[in-house]
């Protein structure tokens, strides 16, 4: 019996993928690196693989690709993070498609009949060739990455830069640039979009034009409910003192599960739509909340993220980004796929 659960709504995932396709009119390279941002790469890939809008998958490194293949994933798997020499045998054996973004990657692939994509740095300042174009019979696609999708002017500059490179190639099977936030640019010359976060219904920008629906709910159980007197210190360091007689609840979810300590004395959890302020320091396995007059009892579920409060909203309170919180969800949190509201 797990005390903390991440529920994954399969239908919502399907709807979001369809909406992304309908908005972009391009098939999706589903980015499931870092264990699908902590959601669970094999669960997510198995949900996505049968969908006609999903062209392929992308992961960070060969090892992640091998894991997906071992779970039975058949669609193409792109390795975003370059090629190290030692990874070439795995790439071959498991039929993975690497992205080449450095001369050393080309060198590693020398003499191997392995198709690859080429990445160009149009202003991301991370991976990608700069100032040269790779011509090779094995090139199966080209890509670039936007660094600041919220900055329209800079993004348009990157898009123009990429277009010039793409034109040099003539016909290419796959050209991709837009991530979840980048979708708003509807780049006319790309053939695919490379999307991760939006699949879960998390909106990566304010005024996001796609009506995504939250597909994730993160919940944990209440393990104690009690009243403490006025002026009572709460949690390590006693950084919070009750202002009056207070009903407090202890939730089985702490920083070891992935709740940022920066939310201590600041964030809130939710019970039936009511906000429960976090009191005192978040601890390793537990977080203390003010229950007020709500009727929550030991054993009840308290929500950390749900329909009303996304990972994006939580991350704003914590001073970080949704990706970081999701990636930090620990293995102690059970991942549970729901279909029609019921456990699969
Ligand atoms: C992670 C990643 C993506 C996906 O980004 P989202 O914001 O999750 O859609 C796309 N492209 C590259 C190169 C990435 O590293």
CATH number at residue 259: 2.40.37.10
Q: Are residues 193 and 220 in the same domain?
A: no
Domain of 22, CATH number, reads 3.20.20.10
Domain stops at, among 144, 166, 200: 200
Structure confidence by residue, pLDDT tens digits, 124-179: 999 999 989 999 999 999 999 999 999 999 999 999 999 999 999 988 999 999 99
Do 30 and 147 lie in one domain? The reply is yes
* 209: in domain: no
Annotate 199-224 with b (16+ C-beta within 10 A) or e (fewer): bbbbbbeeebebebebbbbbbbbbee
Q: Which tokens belong to 248? A: 């407090």
Is residue 233 domain-resident? Answer: yes
Same structural domain, 188 and 241: no
* 174 is annotated as an active-site residue: no
56 alpha carbon – ligand 1 mean position (Å): 14
Q: Is residue 211 part of a domain?
A: no
CB 12 within 8 A of CB 214: yes
Predicted pLDDT of residue 343? 85
Residue range 304-327: mean pLDDT, rounded: 96
**pLDDT at position 62, please?**
97
- Do 221 and 249 lie in one domain? The reply is yes
In a domain, 2, yes or no: no
CA distance 206 to 201: 13
Mean pLDDT (the chain) is 97
Q: What is the mean pLDDT of residues 4-30?
A: 98
Q: Examine the domain organization and report whether 74 and 112 are in the same domain.
A: yes
Q: Using the mean position of ligand 1's atoms as its centre, give its distance from the Cα of residue 261 in Å.
A: 26
pTM exceeds 0.85 for this model? yes
Which residues surround ligand 1 with Cβ inside 6 Å?
A: 31, 33, 80, 145, 179-181, 194-198, 204
Scan for tokens 């062209």, then name that residue.
Answer: 55
Residue 110 scores a pLDDT above 90:
yes
DSSP symbols for 156-198 = HHHHHHHHHHHHTT-S-SEEE---TGGGGG--TT-SEEEESGG
> In terms of domains, do 41 and 154 share one?
yes
Domain residues for the domain of 191 are: 10-200
* 283 and 143 together in one domain: no
Q: What is the pLDDT of residue 17?
A: 98
**Rounded to an integer, what is the distance from CA 132 to the centroid of its chain?**
32
**pLDDT score for 239:** 98
Q: Which of 17, 101, 179, 322 to mutate to test the pocket of ligand 1 (most atoms within 8 A of CB)?
A: 179
Find all residues with CB under 8 Å of 50, minimum gap 6, and list them: none
- Do 235 and 274 reside in the same domain of the chain? yes
Note whether 29 and 152 are same-domain residues: yes
Name the nearest CA neighbour of 325 among 260, 253, 265, 268: 260
Does one domain contain both 193 and 268?
A: no
Identify whether 328 is part of a domain: yes
Give the chain's domain count.
Answer: 2
**107-138: b or e for each residue (b if 16 or more CB lie within 10 Å)?**
ebbeeeebbbbbbbbbbeeebbbeeeebeeee
Residue 108's pLDDT is: 98
Within a domain: 3: no
Does one domain contain both 45 and 169? yes
pLDDT per residue as tens digits for the range 176-197: 999 999 999 999 999 999 999 9
- Going by pLDDT thresholds of 50, 70 and 90, the confidence category of residue 340 is confident
Out of 200, 227, 254, a domain closes at: 200
């Amino acid at each position: 019996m797990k005390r903390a659960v991440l529920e994954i709504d399969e239908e919502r995932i399907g709807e979001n993928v369809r909406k992304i396709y309908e908005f972009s009119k391009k098939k999706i390279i589903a980015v499931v690196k870092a264990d699908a941002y902590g959601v669970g790469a094999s669960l997510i890939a198995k949900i996505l693989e049968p969908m006609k809008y999903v062209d392929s998958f992308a992961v960070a490194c060969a090892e992640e690709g091998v894991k997906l293949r071992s779970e039975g994933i058949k669609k193409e798997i792109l390795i975003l993070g370059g090629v190290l020499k030692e990874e070439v045998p795995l790439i071959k054996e498991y039929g993975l498609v690497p992205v080449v973004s450095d001369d050393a990657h080309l060198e590693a692939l020398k003499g191997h009949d392995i198709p690859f994509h080429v990445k160009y740095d149009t202003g991301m300042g991370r991976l990608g060739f700069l100032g040269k174009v790779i011509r090779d019979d094995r090139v199966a696609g080209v890509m670039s990455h936007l660094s600041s999708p919220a900055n329209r002017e800079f993004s348009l500059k990157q898009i123009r830069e990429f277009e010039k490179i793409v034109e040099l190639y003539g016909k290419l099977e796959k050209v991709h640039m837009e991530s979840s936030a980048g979708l708003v640019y509807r780049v006319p010359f790309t053939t695919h979009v490379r999307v991760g976060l939006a699949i879960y219904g998390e909106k990566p920008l304010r005024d996001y034009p796609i009506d995504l629906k939250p597909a994730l709910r993160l919940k944990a159980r209440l393990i104690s409910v009690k009243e403490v007197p006025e002026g009572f210190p709460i949690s390590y360091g006693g950084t919070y003192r009750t202002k009056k007689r207070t009903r407090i609840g202890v939730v089985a979810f702490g920083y070891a599960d992935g709740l940022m300590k920066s939310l201590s004395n600041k964030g809130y959890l939710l019970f039936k739509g009511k906000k429960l302020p976090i009191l005192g320091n978040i601890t390793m396995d537990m977080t203390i909340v003010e229950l007020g007059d709500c009727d929550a009892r030991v054993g009840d579920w308290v929500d950390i993220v749900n329909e009303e409060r996304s990972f994006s909203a939580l991350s704003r309170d914590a001073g970080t980004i949704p990706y970081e919180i999701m990636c930090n969800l620990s293995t102690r949190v059970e991942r549970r796929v729901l279909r029609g509201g019921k456990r699969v």
